[in-house]
Structure 1
Amino acid sequence: MQKHRLLLAVAAITVVAQADPLPPAARAEVDALLARLQTSGCEFNRNGSWYAGADARAHLLKKLNYLEGKNLVQTAEQFIERGASGSSMSGTPYLVRCAGKLPVQSAQWLKAELQQVRTARAASSPQ
């Protein structure tokens, strides 16, 4: 029994050691998205409760770490779809509510922000 537990522990460590982080360009995009969410002044709804941007960022970073650990994310779009669009526990979509606007699903808000991040990056890149 002890040998079996040791083998399981070694297997678990091996799986964790093989986990790949997001490629640098995708990580930069995700970091930019989370920074925008944190500083937007918008609120983030998760399972019926509204949270400030900083709390939303912290929660989504935990989900990103989980997804990276399972090799389930390689792009910013995958992060949005698999981690930042809804609760993995309840299946309820996350919402973003900005001042003076109706709440929208976080996937919609994050995809629009991602487009702005990419547009800004393209505009600042040397031609």
Structure 2
Amino acid sequence: MVIATSLWCLLASAAPTPASVRAEVEALMARLQASGCEFSRNGSWYTGLQARDHLLRKLEYLEGKGTVQSAEQFIELAASRSSSSGKAYQVKCGGQPAVESKVWLTEQLAALRVPAGKGKP
């Protein structure tokens, strides 16, 4: 909780979110939407499109408070848990078990950052 409070304080005094960070977050949200995975928040499951819309609204809220310095910060502050209940978000893809959204989104972010042609063989 102390870390989250500290991050909120940093956001309150910072400049606008860099365009490169915003673009990376939007690419991550597009990946979530296109994944066919389901997204759970506060006990209900939603489509990738619904999840994307919800998380982008949370990003806009954060941007209204200051800046988001990285996609990792966005994941930590907006895309990992409910700000109202504190309950962790989850992502479920196909028949796979649900995983915390922080884990899924961090993996997807790493995949987005791999240069074309440099992925797994």
TM range (shorter): 0.7 to 0.9
Q: Post-superposition shift, 1:120?
A: 3.4
Q: How many residues align?
A: 106
Equivalent in the alignment of 1:120: 115
Equivalent in the alignment of 2:81: 86
Match of 2:66 among 54, 66, 71: 71
Alpha carbons 1:38, 1:52 under 8 Å: kept: yes
Q: Post-superposition shift, 1:49?
A: 0.1
Mapped to 1, the partners of 2:115 and 2:80 lie a distance apart of 23
Residues 1-127 of structure 1 mapped to structure 2, 5 A cutoff: 20-120=15-115, 123=118
Distance 1:122 1:66, change over 3 A: farther
Same amino acid, percent of matched pairs: 58
Q: Post-superposition shift, 1:72?
A: 4.7
Unaligned ranges ≥5, structure 1: 1-17
Q: Post-superposition shift, 1:111?
A: 0.2
Give me the TM-score of the superposition, normalised by structure 1.
Answer: 0.78
For the aligned residue pairs, the C-alpha RMSD in angstroms reads 1.8
SS at match of 1:83: helix
User: Which structure is larger by alpha-carbon Rg, 1 or 2?
Assistant: 1
Give me the TM-score of the superposition, normalised by structure 2.
Answer: 0.81
Mapped to 1, the partners of 2:84 and 2:116 lie a distance apart of 35
User: What is the identity, as a one-letter code, of the residue corresponding to 1:91?
Assistant: G
Alpha carbons 1:19, 1:69 under 8 Å: kept: no
